[in-house]
Amino acid sequence: MQFEVWAPEADSVVLEAADVRCAMERDAGREGWWTAGAEASDGDRYGFRVDDGPLLPDPRSRRQPDGPDGPSAVVDQEAYAWREAWAGRRLNRAVLYELHVGTYTPEGTFDAAAARLGHLAELGVTHVSLMPVCPFPGVNGWGYEGVSLWAVHEPYGGPEGLKRFVDTAHGLGLGVILDVVHNHLGPSGNHLPAFGPYFTDTHHTPWGAAVNLDAPGSDEVRAFLLGSALAWLRDYRLDGLRLDAVHALADTRALTFLEELSAAVDALAVEVGRPLGLIAESDLCDPRTTTPRPAGGLGLHAQWNDDFHHALHTALTGESQGYYADFARAPLAALAKTVTSGFFHNGTFSSFRGRTHGRPVDVTRTPAHRFVGYAQTHDQIGNRALGDRLAASLPPGLQACAAALVLTGPFTPMLFMGEEWGARTPWQFFTDHTDPELAEAVRNGRRREFGAHGWDQEEIPDPQDPATRDRSCLDWSEPGREPHARLLAWYRELIALRRTLPDLHDPDLASVKTAFDEDARWLAYRRGDLRIAVNLADGPAAIPLGSGRHRRAGGRVLAAWEPVEAPGADGFLHLPPESCVVLADD
């Protein structure tokens, strides 16, 4: 087989494959590339020596059986016999479910997770959104410190394990989206700098030197990242990618990397004959992220909406620290603005940032499904000092209200694993760094960070302690007992309504009408012929549905957390404390 590697500054490159060692030759047709042919088959180890240096794994390695510091292994992508024919699933009527392979089950493998996918099919979600699966040193971690961007973490099950997972998901009607990280690589096991200018000091990020998207050599770096993204979608039959923190991609070129990526993915979708999606994580509050390329945007298909989360979180919890401060002044007003305008920060002043932030959304042209709405994510739970979920502090009624706002709202809903039954297990920050100095630095850094916010440093879980990961695993006995079973049934009921009622996946943001009372702590909104109301107060609420002579009586109760009657002749809905309802007009 033919081996190749980009090493533009090297004087020599040697291939070691199986029992073969041979000098590679420069590729006359591609500057900076080296090639060599050698006998090798599936599973054979190989690597490269640059200028007589140590044996290094292939930057485009498909498998790292001994971890990111070991040799690469040849992978025959045609060897897996796919069981399921799959036509794909679009994002415009999706319900997403964020899942971390390493803690979804105690075993922490693709196969163990696949065995639990029937739960998600019964729940009614449409897509599993996997957190990153690229290799990193050790066994356990969130995945955002991956270093081999074309390979699959071996402890999870490697390439074959991922294919079995995707195959099983597709057989149950579930699409699979993968979280990929292009803005940085992990601090340990990253060998890319030995090959070429994959990073640049022109820009700096929270993780150090930036990935090189616009300095000399960036054409090949972009091709490396594009090739990786397309390989995930093509070789593993994934349905889309979630792009981590795109606001941290330092890119000053006229044609941005994200535009190139969206064009390439759209072309691949045509080639493979099924829809493929790109979902951005961005804190810019910029509608151009998902504006089509011909209209001057980046052409991504959806973006996470942290404004919706922050408004919802402050309304539920009353928290006001950090970035919640912008929303805590009037959380229901912030929530109402977000579900009708797309963003809360659309050019408004952000006290957290000390400046104006965001850009207005043209709600007449931007479909609501381009925003992903959620009450909980891996970040919003795991970046808390103790990794506590909403279930740790909210009663079931308020959790039910959160579910109603996410699942009947205008945005594409997303759940975080275990949320659907109010999991009591935390989801904490855990690592498995094999470098003792790095492990100690991460441990002390986290303690200092939260100590500065008033926490007792001894209370902060040790990321390196295996017990921290173990505590974060879901407890699969919970869904079968109360109060978890009731909440799970509520999630199923709401997802079923979303699937069957066209008004709940209407993309027209301009048609969403809201009303709220900040002091009484209720919010209601209309979506077509449906009215949704939540009462976050610890006392009953009398909610006027409509105003004056337009106030509506009657209606059918489609779903309610607590027993409730349709509005009477006075047009008021009387909603019990910490409760919610979905009504349909007669």
- Could you tell me which of 121, 131, 119, 192 has the C-alpha nearest to residue 162? 131
* pLDDT tens digits, one per residue of 236-293: 999 999 999 999 999 999 999 999 999 999 999 999 999 999 999 999 999 999 999 9
* pLDDT tens digits, one per residue of 84-119: 999 999 999 999 999 999 999 999 999 999 999 999
If you average pLDDT over residues 347-356, what whole number do you get? 96
If you average pLDDT over residues 203-213, what whole number do you get? 90
pLDDT at position 23 over 70 = yes
DSSP three-state, residue 526: strand
Which of 24-28, 316-320, 444-448 is predicted with the least confidence, judged by mean pLDDT?
444-448
pLDDT band per the 50, 70, 90 thresholds, residue 569: confident
* Residue with the larger pLDDT of the pair 341 and 205: 341
* Residue with the larger pLDDT of the pair 54 and 447: 54
Q: Which of 58, 98, 244, 286 is catalytic?
A: 244
CB 389 within 8 A of CB 427: yes
pLDDT at position 550 over 50 = no
Top CATH class of 513-584 equals mainly beta
If you average pLDDT over residues 553-582, what whole number do you get? 93
E strand map for 100-219: 127-130, 175-180, 199-205, 208-211
Backbone angles phi, psi at 438, to 5 degrees: -65, -40
The distance of Cα 308 from the centroid of its chain, to the nearest Å, equals 15
Does the active-site annotation cover 98?
no
pLDDT at position 227 over 50 = yes
Task: Tally the residues of the chain.
Answer: 586
Rounded Cα distance, 558 and 545, in Å? 16
Rounded Cα distance, 254 and 259, in Å? 10
If you average pLDDT over residues 338-349, what whole number do you get? 98
CB 504 within 8 A of CB 132: no
pLDDT band per the 50, 70, 90 thresholds, residue 69: very high
Average pLDDT, the chain: 96
The distance of Cα 499 from the centroid of its chain, to the nearest Å, equals 22
Q: Which of 44, 58, 179, 281 is catalytic?
A: 281
Backbone angles phi, psi at 484, to 5 degrees: -65, -40
Burial class (CB in 10 A: 0-12, 13-18, 19+), 285: buried
Rounded Cα distance, 475 and 473, in Å? 6
The structure's pTM equals 0.97
pLDDT at position 553 over 80 = no
pLDDT band per the 50, 70, 90 thresholds, residue 586: confident
CATH assignment of 96-181+216-500, given 3.40.710.10, 3.40.50.10490, 3.20.20.80, 3.30.70.100?
3.20.20.80
Domains in the chain: boundaries: 2-56, 96-181+216-500, 513-584
pLDDT at position 551 over 60 = no
pLDDT at position 379 over 90 = yes
Q: What is the DSSP string of 548-561?
A: GGGPPP--EEEEES
Does the active-site annotation cover 281?
yes
Maximum Cα–Cα distance across the chain: 87
CB 342 within 8 A of CB 509: yes
- CATH fold, domain 2-56, is Immunoglobulin-like (2.60.40)
Rounded Cα distance, 261 and 523, in Å? 40
The distance of Cα 172 from the centroid of its chain, to the nearest Å, equals 21
Same fold, 2-56 and 96-181+216-500: no
* Residue with the larger pLDDT of the pair 361 and 454: 361
